[in-house]
């Protein structure tokens, strides 16, 4: 007798669809990491005086501030993509948005290849950002909507594993492709990834929830059955239809970004919105954006700088490549941790650990304990990836009604990309000015994050969204109060602190 479909874990086809959809996040990670190593080759012409190769300049001289704008243009584009794509994902479907957002990335790749000045490079980064910001938010919704609760515990963290994999591939290839004119090819690979993504998405189904919301019932049933293998989908499908018609159907209410921000929703979602924003702010201002964008410069400030340019990777570049490999391995391990430990536990553990690591990085840099500083950068990166890396993208969808999920994720994503843009611009100059003291700032933000989330972040793992909405849609509140921890809502955390 077939088992009920909602009790299933990860099926092969669910995994396939999530892996294919996650190529969008891999592309995000690629663009996130590709800017790191070739920066000085492009802006300071350290590979030799500026000259032309096949009619294109070998380098594009720019100051740290201007290069920071180029770095941050990707985040600015991602902000635009996150805001603008919510309505299109609701109108045309999750799969369609994942598919066609790749077109902008392909256009960006062409611009990367033919850029003759810094503005063209910045425009290319901006277009790539729109594509990946659009796809990243849509990917989060797609995973939540095609997976069972058990599968979601594991696959919900796929976004960070994919981003880490993309960053790793970008930085490893950068070790050999950062010289003129190969840096153009390095940047343009984002278009190749997009073409592969478009081709492979044809093997995936559309979100059953979205299909039901458009009253395409037979297609939704077939899609769900394919995702659930040979299990009995009757109960899950009937529940899905009833729930979605009530909350997402053609005549149902769908909250806009303005509605969510102004509090004009049927449920009081102030707590959910504040939490969604705060976890993203803490994610970006934890110091991770600076490590990701400028790890070569950061390691260069700790290690002995090279006396002349060489095509042989420097110690700082090797450490950067190694950091990305470690990050990917930890992200894959984090998939298992996310399925076992609670979201709250991992977030508190990570921010507390990053607070300690930040202090030790600063002490090591200031006192000349280089090995300690380098090791702590690796630990800092690792603990980020199991908590504040993936979970801020997952938490809003586990506390928010279906009608407000897209708008809430759009708001929190926009905040994240705004912070990312800011860090991209200022971190290089900040590191030049404060040197080893820079990470004391991040120690403060991580301490604030740990304390704030202790009082605001409830456990969402393995809890029904309807229960979370009923309990926490009461305005901003202290979740440590007994009435939010009693009965079925008691936090049964597996503490690793």
pLDDT tens figures, 98-147:
999 999 999 999 999 999 999 999 999 999 999 998 998 888 889 888 88
Q: What is the per-residue pLDDT for 24? A: 93
Give pLDDT, residue 495.
38
**In whole angstroms, what is the distance from residue 168 CA to residue 172 CA?**
6
pLDDT at position 487: 39
- Output the pLDDT for position 1: 66
pLDDT value of residue 488: 40
At 414 the pLDDT is 87
pLDDT at position 149 is: 76
How do residues 361-411 score in pLDDT, each as one tens digit? Answer: 889 888 888 888 888 888 898 899 888 988 888 888 788 887 888 788 889
Q: List, for the chain, all residue ranges whose pLDDT scores fall below the cut of 70.
A: 1, 247-252, 290, 292-312, 334-336, 338-339, 482-497
Q: For residues 444 and 451, is the Cβ–Cβ distance under 8 A?
A: no
Distance of CA 329 to the CA centre of its chain: 16
pLDDT of the residue at 374? 83
Distance, CA of 317 to CA of 302 (rounded, Å): 12
One-letter-per-residue 3-state SS of the chain: CCCEHHHCCCCHHHHHHHHHHCHHHHHHHHHHHCCCCCHHHHHCCCCCCCCEECCEECCCCCCHHHHHHHHHHHHHHHHHHHHHHHHHHHHHCHHHHHHHCHHHHHHHHHHHHHCCCHHHHHHHHHHHHHHHHHHHHHHHHHHHHHCCHHHHHHHCCHHHHHHHHHHHHHHHHHHHHCCCCHHHHHHHHHHHHHHHHHHHHCCCCCCHHHHHHCCCHHHHHHHHHHHCCCCECHHHHHHHHHHHHHHCCCCCCCCCHHHHHHCCCCCECHHHHHHHHHHHHHHHHHHHHHHHHHHHHHHHHHCCCCCCCCCCCCHHHHHHHHHHHHHHHHHHHHHHHHHHCCHHHHHHHHHHHHHHHHHHHHHHHHHCCHHHHHHHHHHHHHHHHHCCCCHHHHHHHHCCCHHHHHHHHHHHHHHHHHHHHHHHHHHHHHHHHHHHHHHHHHHHHHHHHHHHHHHHCCCCCCCCHHHHHHHHCECCCCCCCHHHCCHHHCCCCCCCC
Name beta bridge partners: 474: 268
Query: In this structure, is the dihedral angle defined by the CA atoms of residues 133, 97, 160 and 340, taken in order, positive or negative?
Result: positive
Helix axes 182-201, 158-177, angle to 10 degrees: 150
């Amino acid at each position: 007798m077939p088992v009920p479909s909602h009790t299933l874990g990860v099926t092969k086809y669910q995994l396939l669809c999530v892996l294919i959809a996650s190529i969008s996040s891999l592309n995000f990670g690629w663009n996130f990491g590709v800017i790191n190593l070739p920066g000085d080759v492009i802006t300071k012409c350290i590979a030799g005086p500026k000259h032309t190769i096949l009619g294109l300049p070998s380098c594009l001289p720019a100051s740290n501030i201007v290069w920071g704008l180029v770095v941050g243009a990707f985040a600015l584009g991602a902000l635009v993509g996150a805001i603008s794509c919510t309505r299109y994902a609701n109108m045309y479907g999750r799969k369609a948005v994942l598919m066609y957002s790749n077109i902008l990335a392909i256009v960006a790749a062409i611009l990367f290849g033919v850029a003759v000045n810094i503005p063209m490079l910045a425009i290319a980064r901006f277009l790539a950002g729109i594509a990946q910001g659009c796809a990243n938010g849509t990917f989060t919704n797609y995973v939540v909507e095609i997976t069972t609760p058990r599968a979601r515990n594991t696959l919900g963290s796929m976004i960070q594993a994919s981003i880490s994999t993309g960053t790793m591939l970008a930085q490893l290839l950068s070790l050999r492709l950062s010289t003129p004119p190969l840096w153009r090819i390095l940047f343009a690979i984002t278009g190749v990834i997009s073409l592969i993504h478009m081709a492979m998405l044809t093997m995936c189904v559309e979100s059953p929830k979205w299909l039901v919301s458009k009253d395409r019932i037979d297609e939704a049933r077939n899609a769900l059955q394919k995702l659930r293998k040979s299990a009995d989908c009757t109960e899950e499908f009937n529940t899905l239809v009833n729930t979605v018609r009530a909350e997402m159907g053609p005549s149902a209410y769908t909250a806009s970004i303005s509605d969510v921000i102004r509090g004009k929703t049927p449920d009081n979602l102030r707590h959910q919105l504040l939490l969604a924003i705060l976890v993203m702010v803490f994610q970006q201002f934890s110091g991770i954006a600076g490590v990701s964008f400028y790890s070569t410069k950061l390691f260069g400030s700790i290690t002995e700088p090279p006396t002349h340019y060489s095509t042989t990777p420097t110690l700082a570049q090797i450490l950067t490549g190694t950091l990305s490999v470690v990050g990917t391995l930890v992200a894959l391990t984090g998939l298992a941790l996310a399925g076992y430990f609670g979201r709250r536990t991992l977030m508190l553990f990570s921010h507390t650990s990053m607070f300690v690591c930040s202090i030790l990085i600063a002490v090591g840099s200031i006192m000349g304990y280089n090995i300690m500083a380098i090791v702590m950068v690796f630990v800092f990166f690792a603990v980020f990836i199991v908590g504040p890396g993936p979970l801020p993208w997952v938490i809003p969808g586990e506390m928010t009604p279906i009608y407000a999920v897209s708008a809430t994720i759009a708001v929190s994503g926009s905040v994240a990309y705004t912070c990312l843009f800011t860090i991209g611009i200022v971190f290089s100059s900040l590191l030049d000015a404060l040197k080893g003291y820079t990470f004391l700032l991040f120690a403060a933000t991580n301490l604030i994050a740990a304390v704030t989330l202790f009082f605001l972040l409830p456990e969402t793992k393995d809890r029904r969204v309807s229960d979370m909405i009923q309990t926490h849609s009461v305005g901003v509140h202290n979740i440590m109060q007994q009435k939010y921890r009693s009965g079925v809502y008691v936090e049964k955390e597996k503490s690793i602190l």
